[in-house]
Each structure stands twice: as structure tokens, then as C-alpha cells.
Structure 1
Amino acid sequence: MAERAEDRALISGVGQSEVGRRLGRSDLDLTREACHRALADAGLTVGDIDGLVAWPGEWPAAPGFCGPALGRVKDALGLELSWHAGVQDGPSQLAAVMSAVMAVASGYARHVLVYRTTSEATGQAGGGRDTTSPADVTGVIGLQEWLRPFGAVTAAHWLAMVAQRYLHETGATREQIGGLAVSTRRWAGLNPAAVYREPLTIEDYLAARMITTPLCLYDCDVPADGSVAVIVSAAETKADLRSPVRIEAMGSALGARPFWDQWADPLDLPQRDAAHHLWSRTELRPGDVDVAQLYDGFSILTLVWLEAAGFCGRGEGAAFVADGKRIGPGGELPLNTGGGQLSGGRLHGYGLFHEAVVQLRGGLGERQVEGAETAFVGAGGGPLGGCFLLAH
């Protein structure tokens, strides 16, 4: 195989700020904390960083969604940059990490700092969510023509339709899917940084209030305030780094129309194409993966990722997670070992990426997956799909 971008870059450092509900801290403060922790983790200084990229960058969105602008972060950290970017569109939220890999591989930078910061918990407390009713919508076109007039104004509505179709086509039950929420809460109980750590039972899950059928409260991730930073470094700097993690492969795809409501098969989202792309770039296979961190903005997305990545067959995801044994501590595929976003807090895939790296490094106590050498990270839902295979 010809030399790939993945061969020219390493994950040299990761850092995560305090994560919680309505922390009362500014997005810039959280970002600084995550970035300084990533620098210390990598064994680098501010002066070593010559690239900066964020997801999604400046973008019209609900309060707290985007995080601080690149210029504010540059000034706050005192960076001197040769390359920078904000990535709104791309193969999932992890497009910013992929862009950093490309920048390093092409020689634009040697050490690129990536950050994702959200203060959505605080932003939503201020009434920042869209509360538009169907009666308020007139003259909408495109994506919104088939969603907003019918009351489908959030991703919860859009993914609930996928979940309902999944139950109909596969014969799966809500009780089976609930095994995912129960398992991730168990993992969260082992993670001091998780937002919700108290035990959750399947009875609790089934008794929870419905958000949008068939998704209940525990099928939805937890809005949080927090930040994650990732440093991507040139492979030739390996000797200068504390404990780099290798990028075995990346995957991205956009083969169908990029709209939530216009897939030929609602259960065959871009995650399948992204995973296929990743596996085409490595000789490793799903059976070689020791730990998986799969996007759980909503529980149905984790099932889609499990099937798309080849960890189980089509329509088998619900059965795979049903009792939590296969995905919990000591299971055949430890899944979302930091508590995911369902219990750990919504960081749009970056908390999952952070957890994959620290799992490969080892030393996490009860939460540690014994002998973990390879980790699969999948992010995105709906028309977004991107994934990494990391190794140490």
C-alpha cells in the first residue's frame, strides 16, 4: 500500500476539561483547560504548536454550541500559527481531527491543536433551543420542507423516525435497546469525570418519560459544558513525544444525498460507507478491535454504528447490546467505556476520541480494558459519518 496520510501523523496528546451541567465557566476558560492538559499530555509547549483547528468553528447555531472562535483561542494561548481552520462541513464532527492529519501529512504544520468546546447546558438554560411549532412554519424549502412543517424540528425527531423504522424492520424491542443505556451508565460509574454516575436499571429506562417515540430520556445524550483538545503531530517527531498513539486508518464517505430525510434506506446511513472506507485502508478487521467508542447522541446511532462497522450483522445491534454483557466490563467488545455521551456528557464525539486514546495508554483502574491495543472511534449520525482506528 502506498504511503498514507495516516502514516505521517500521530495522536500525540489529548486533554479534557471539567465536564458538567451548567458549570458557570466561559467556553474560553474550558478550552484553555483542555488545551493545556493536552500539551502536558504530549510533552509539548505552546511554542511547539503551529496549527489550530476547531469543530465547527464560527457558525450560526444555538447558544453554547460552537465554542470560542479560533482567534480568541489563538490569543488566549499565545500561539504563532502557520495553519488554521474551522471545519463546519465534513465527515462527522471528527472532520477537524482529519483536517489536522492532512495538514501535518502535507507539511503545513508539525503540531496541530484541535479543540471542540460546548456550553450547551448553559446555553439551553437560557432558552436557546428552537421551539418553533408546525403552525409557525410557512414557505420552507429543501430539508425543512419535509420536516419542520410536521413538527420535526430537532435531531431527536429525525432520529426517532430512524429508531421506529429499526424496531419495525428488525423486530427489536425497546427493552433490548435499553441495554445500551444501562451499560454506559455502568461504565460511567467507573469514570470520575462522567456527568451521571449513579446506577441505572432497565426498569428505570422503561419507566423514563418519552421524548419522541420511541426515544425516551435515557436514549438521548446529556447536554453539557466541556471541552476536549487533541494534538496531531508529525510522525518524525515521535522521539520528542511522551506516549503517542498511532493512526491505523481513517474513514469518511458521502455517497448519498446529504439530507436527513432522503436516504434510500433509513437504516443504511453514511456510517456504513465511512466504515467500509476505513477497513479498505487497513489489513485489520473488526475482530481485531479491543475497545469501541461509538457515537451515542441517540442510542439508535450506536446500533447503526455497531452494524455499519461490522461488529455485528444488519439488524443485530439491539440483540448485541441487550443485556449489556457483551459491551460492558469484561465483555467481548467493551463499548463507550467512559460512559459515552448518554451518561458522560455530550461532547460531539470528542469525549469518545479522548477515551479511546487514554484506554490505549492504560492505567485507568477498574475502567481499564485489559490488553487494549486497538480502538475504533465512530462519530456522526444522519448524513454525517467519520471514523478512526487507533493503535498503540
Structure 2
Amino acid sequence: MRKTTSDVSVMGAGESPYTRHPASGTTTEQVLADAVRRALSDANLQTADVDGFGVSSFTLDPDHAIDLAWRLGLRLRWLTQDTNGGASAGTMLQHAVRAVESGDASVVVLVAGDLMDREVHLKMVAEYNRATADHLVPLDMLGPNALFALLTQRQMAAEGLTRSDYGRLAVAQRSWAALNPGAVYREPLTLDDYLNAPMVAEPLGRYDCVPPVTGADAVVVAADERATGTRRARVLTVSARYNSDDQAGDGLSTGLADCASELWDTAGHGPADIDVVSVYDDYPAMALAQLKDLGLVAGGEMPAFIAERVATRELAVNTSGGQLSAGQAGSAGGMHGLVETVRQLRGQAGQRQVDNARIGLVSGYGMVLYRYGACANAALLEAAV
């Protein structure tokens, strides 16, 4: 029988500041290293304390995890490198928990991030994988906007949603972002602003599409006894599914639908227990799909759920502003939500702090192999001292 909780916690978190236009000479290595240093400082640890390290980045090439570890001065017993974008944080967290539980490592730093200027971004979306290069580039479809526009149209029909419903989610997240000094887009956003913004791919407008930024996020994972006496976020459980629909599904359901019951049963909690949630939000439709798959909203109830719980911020969804307002630093997309949830559970979220935040939910999603995201995972964390 599976354990209901782990004996492992996140005891530190850090973010290298996000920026839409990185300064000349900025490198991926620099922003990753900065996030690592910030996370270790938050945990009151030094590089000498670290014996486990994981990294996810699209733009670290030609270097690898071991190269970055060497440049950071890390001597390790455990090392991993993940290439699965928005799902990388959850995947690495799952592995790190097992590494600490088994004794393979005692203090693990996980970091994800990228340099995303215009040239780098265009090159990445054109060469994302073989399916992109062979089938999408010849159609002059750079990036996933057109694919997720089709998915959004399908979701609108299935759930009775309008563009205003998606706009209410985007506006609510911008309101959270206004309280987050690290968000790239903090200026007020109204529903009229959202509806009148330039169209990108029907029905997706400017504020439906995640803006690429440069930056990185990191967390420090260690056994509970290592964090005794400090406020921490205990990792209750992590569940994941990869290639759940064999790229043959309609995209309205993610792999989270297949692992949600396992997630809740293992942790001994349910959707009603959640105080703060960070879902991967490259598009509003995908944030809603994950909330549904995880049981926070039932099918057919999305319009009322958005109006009554998300728009009012009764349910604390993506309190950093999410990627739609804070920005998407490449592979840091999933790690951004983990860092925000850890900050909320440790009482470090400043003006956006959710009162008495005790249970946090983080989801990761991503990697368009041919149609839609093939990777999905979720973690439940609990505030502890």
C-alpha cells in the first residue's frame, strides 16, 4: 500500500527576475545560476550542502546538467536533466522526492528556465520536434497558437463558454499579477481590454497567448528533519501520466484525468481542501481543462465556476498572475507555479498572500508531440513547520 504522505519537503524557492527583453549578453546559464543561488539563500543553505541537482532548459545547449553543476561548484551524488517543458517541474519533483526517501541524496536543487529573446523563440518553435518541422512549418504555422485555437473552439462548444468567460479568467490573473512584483505584466486589464485586443488565431486574442520571457525558477528539496524548525511545504504526493491519449484525443482532457483519483486518494485530501492552486496556463482553455480534470469544476459548470469562484478570486488560482501575466520563461513554466505555491504555503507571498493557506495544488502540462500536450502531472503540498 502506498504511503499517504512523503517525509520530504520543499524548504526553499527562488526566481531569477523575469524580463520580456533581456539585457545584451544575458545567457541561460546566468539566469539558471541566479535562481539556484536565490533558492539556496531562501533555504539558508550553501552549495556545499547540495548533493542532488536537476535542471530543465530548452536553451542550455550545448551544455548539459553536469556542465551547469560544475559551473555552480556542485559535487553531487544524484543528477537528472528533464526536457519536458511545462511538465518538467513535476517530473523532477517526483524523482527528487524518491531520491531523498531512498537516501540517494539529502538536499536536491531543481531549476528550470530559459533565455527567450525573439530570435531564440522563433528558432525553438520552428524546430520544436520532428512533427513540428515536418508537418507544421510547411503550413506556415509557427508555434502552437493555431492548434490551441482549434482546441479552444472545441471547448467553447462542449462547455458552453464564451470569449468573455476566458476573459474573466485572464482578468482575474492580471489582478493577482498586480500584487506580484515579479510579474512582467502588472498594469490593469479589463474585460473590454481583453475582448478588444487584436486577434491572433480565432478565438484567441493577444491576452490568451502566453508571452515568452527570460528567467528561471528553482526549489530546494530535502528530508523533513533537515528543515526542522523552518516553515516548509511538505510534498504529500506527485502523480503523473505521459502520452495518455497517444496523441489521438481531442485535447479537452489531459493526462490529469487519468491520475486525479490516485492523487487525491494517496494524499487523503479532495478538491474541497485546496487553499491555493497553480495550474499550467499557456492558454486559458488549458487552465480550465486541468481544473476540470482535477475535479475542481464539473463538466457543464465552467461558466458559473469562472464567474463565481475564479473572477471573484474566491478560489486562489494562479496567484502569481500565472504565465499569462507573469510570463513564460521557457521550461520554467511549470516550475513557476511550484515556486508560487511554495511561497504561499510558507507565508512568503506578500500582498497576494492567501490567508491560512495550508494545502496547495500544482499541475504541469506540456510537450506538443503532434497535436496537444503529451505530459501531465500534479503535486499536492502541505504547509508545515
What is the TM-score when the length of structure 1 is the normalising length? 0.86
Are residues 1:165 and 2:147 paired?
A: no
Q: Which of the numbers 239, 251, 263 marks the counterpart of 1:251? A: 239
Task: Verify the 8 A CA contact 2:86 2:333 in the aligned structure 1.
Answer: no
Q: CA deviation at 1:121?
A: 3.1
Deviations 1:243-287 (A, max 9, x none): 22111221112363442xx11x43122121232331131211000
Residues 26-105 of structure 1: pairs in structure 2 closer than 5 A: 26-56=27-57, 64=59, 69-89=64-84, 92-94=87-89, 95-105=91-101
Task: Verify the 8 A CA contact 2:52 2:107 in the aligned structure 1.
Answer: yes
Q: CA deviation at 1:38?
A: 0.8
Task: Verify the 8 A CA contact 2:11 2:233 in the aligned structure 1.
Answer: yes
Deviations 1:195-231 (A, max 9, x none): 0000001111111112122111101112011011111
Q: CA deviation at 1:153?
A: 4.5
Residue of structure 2 in register with 1:156 after alignment = 145
Determine the C-alpha separation between the residues in 2 that align with 1:328 and 1:270: 26
Task: Verify the 8 A CA contact 1:93 1:379 in the aligned structure 2.
Answer: yes
Task: Verify the 8 A CA contact 2:21 2:213 in the aligned structure 1.
Answer: yes
Amino acid at match of 2:6: D
Q: CA deviation at 1:103?
A: 1.5
Task: Verify the 8 A CA contact 1:38 1:229 in the aligned structure 2.
Answer: yes
Q: Which of the numbers 188, 213, 216 marks the counterpart of 1:227? A: 216
Residue of structure 2 in register with 1:9 after alignment = 8
Percent of aligned pairs sharing the same letter: 33
Q: Which of the numbers 85, 97, 106 marks the counterpart of 1:110? A: 106
Gap regions ≥5 residues in structure 1: 133-139
Residues 302-381 of structure 1: pairs in structure 2 closer than 5 A: 302-322=287-307, 326-327=309-310, 331-346=313-328, 347-381=332-366
Amino acid at match of 1:238: A
Residue of structure 2 in register with 1:388 after alignment = 379
Higher relative contact order (CA 8 A, sep 6+): 2
Task: Verify the 8 A CA contact 1:291 1:333 in the aligned structure 2.
Answer: yes
Residue of structure 2 in register with 1:19 after alignment = 18
- Helix, strand or coil for the counterpart of 2:291? helix
Are residues 1:278 and 2:276 paired?
A: no
Deviations 1:22-66 (A, max 9, x none): 22222222112111111111121111100111125xxxx6xx477
Amino acid at match of 1:17: S
Residue of structure 1 in register with 2:195 after alignment = 206
Gap regions ≥5 residues in structure 2: 367-372
| Aligned-pair Cα RMSD in Å | 2.6
Return the structure number with greater strand share.
2
Determine the C-alpha separation between the residues in 1 that align with 2:304 and 2:88: 28
Matched residue pairs, number? 370
Deviations 1:360-382 (A, max 9, x none): 11143321111111111111042
Task: Verify the 8 A CA contact 1:176 1:319 in the aligned structure 2.
Answer: no
